[in-house]
Amino acid sequence: MNDNDLKRAGLSATQPRRLILDLLQQNPEAHLSAEEVYRRLLEQGETVGIATVYRVLGQFEKSNLINRHQFDGTTSVYELNQGKHHDHIICNECGRVVEFIDEEIEQRQRNIAEQQGFHIDSHLLYIFGHCTNPNCRYKP
């Protein structure tokens, strides 16, 4: 049960919050939009208002239970925060998302920011391309 995760985040354990966190914990690799979360709950026979889905995802993001990304310019997707920061490679054709982290890139960023007189709050690195996955719709 994930009530403890909610408590730790300073959130009371309500049904919608339980369901949404559960769904994300069950799919730790997934990057789901609010609509997708809504639909999946419906499929499970659980009804949570779409407004609540947005609200709860926002709360989870604020308490660092999950991370928000915007791979395309229009829709936010959310994934479970598993502690380890990482960046993303996204296939423009099949949508596959691969996570990676590169300490050298992280270090260079810190250097650059310092050089420019900035203190880093966060960063965001997406690499877009075509993957060679056999399931990929893209045929080279």
Interaction between residue 85 and a second copy (CB under 8 A): no
Task: Rule CB under 7 A: choose which of 21, 23, 32, 56 binds DNA.
Answer: 56
The distance of closest approach from Cβ of residue 47 to DNA in the complex, given in angstroms and rounded to an integer, is 6
The CA distance from 99 to 101, in Å, is: 7
In order of 106, 107, 111, 122, 126, the CA distances from 116 in angstroms are: 16, 14, 9, 15, 22
Judged by CB, which is closer to DNA: 52, or 131?
52
The CA distance from 87 to 64, in Å, is: 16
Site residues (CB under 8 A) for a second copy?
A: 70, 73, 76, 89, 91-92, 98, 100, 102, 104-105, 108-109, 112-113, 116-133, 140
